[in-house]
Amino acid sequence: MKLIFLGPPGAGKGTQAIKIAQRFQIAHISTGDMLRAEIREGTKLGMEAKGLIDRGELVPDDVILGMVKNRIQKEDCKNGFLFDGFPRTIAQAEALENISAIDYVINIEVPVETLIRRISGRRMCADCGAGYHVSTYAEENCKCGAALYQRDDDKEETVRNRLVVYERSTKPLIDYYTGKGLLHTVNGNADIDVVDAAIRAVITQ
Ligand code: AMP
């Protein structure tokens, strides 16, 4: 099974992706997580991407497509995969057509006030990359023991730009995938398990 999770920053794509990928034994491919790993490792790609990410801008399509093409060759993708945060532009979606077929595109819809509340409380582990929210996890350290931090691009000014970039570059994918008959919208403004059940209902129909 090959899935795309679409939605603005803070929609819950990452949280839901972890659950679905585990349940269906498919690879969870988050281009944002891959870029943050490159930054942590201090690679050339990571250093080039960092400025753009910190400003809430998109990383160039060719960089992202190169990463994705390599990633889906890996052994853990043989049962399928779930893209979280990819594609983010029409050009990426068009290029993806030459790389792989897709079974379902899940569009997770959440009102903008909820997005800002969720993102501003989000914390990440500096070591393993796990994500938490201050409303449900008040500790300063990750369960793995490393310190938690707030992503630079989760600070309010950058979040506003990320939402503008979403509207301009990524939202058009809703029409693009509707036209291909692949889009399914679920309400993301609900408890984690309720959203998970709604996604499962789509992909097991
Ligand atoms: P995310 O963790 O998905 O919110 O991604 C964090 C940041 O990484 C985004 O704001 C972009 O700067 C960059 N990024 C992640 N995925 C992509 C993509 N598919 N295309 C372009 N930039 C991306």
CATH number for the domain spanning 189: value is 3.40.50.300
Which residues make Cβ contacts (< 8 Å) with residue 66, sequence separation at least 6? Answer: none
Pick the residue with more confidence: 105 or 116?
105
Supply φ then ψ for residue 29, to 5 degrees. Answer: -115, 100
Tokens of residue 59, six digits: 């990383």
Burial string for 82-101 (b: 16+ CB within 10 Å, else e) reads bbbbbbbbeebbebbeeeee
Residue closest via CA to ligand 1's atom 19 equals: 86
Q: Name the pLDDT band for 126 (thresholds 50, 70, 90).
A: confident
Number of domains in the chain: 1
Residue 46 pLDDT exceeds 90: yes
Q: Is residue 118 flagged as an active site residue?
A: no
The per-residue pLDDT for 185 is 98
Structural domain for 29, as ranges: 2-112+170-203
Tokens of residue 3, six digits: 């899935």
The per-residue pLDDT for 16 is 97
- Average pLDDT over the chain reads 95
Q: For the whole model, what pTM was predicted? A: 0.92
In a domain, 193, yes or no: yes
The per-residue pLDDT for 152 is 86
Ligand 1: distance of its center to the CA of 205 in Å? 30
In a domain, 138, yes or no: no
The per-residue pLDDT for 129 is 81
Q: Name the pLDDT band for 95 (thresholds 50, 70, 90).
A: very high
The per-residue pLDDT for 30 is 97
Measured distance CA(158)–CA(68) in Å, rounded:
25
In a domain, 162, yes or no: no
The per-residue pLDDT for 156 is 85
Q: Which of 13, 28, 58, 92 to mutate to test the pocket of ligand 1 (most atoms within 8 A of CB)?
A: 58
Residue 205 pLDDT exceeds 90: no
The per-residue pLDDT for 128 is 86
Residue 35: CB within 6 Å of ligand 1? Answer: yes
Q: Is residue 151 flagged as an active site residue?
A: yes
In a domain, 182, yes or no: yes
Residue 53: CB within 6 Å of ligand 1? Answer: yes
In a domain, 94, yes or no: yes
Q: Which of 59, 64, 150 to mutate to test the pocket of ligand 1 (most atoms within 8 A of CB)?
A: 59
Q: What is the mean pLDDT of residues 68-93?
A: 97
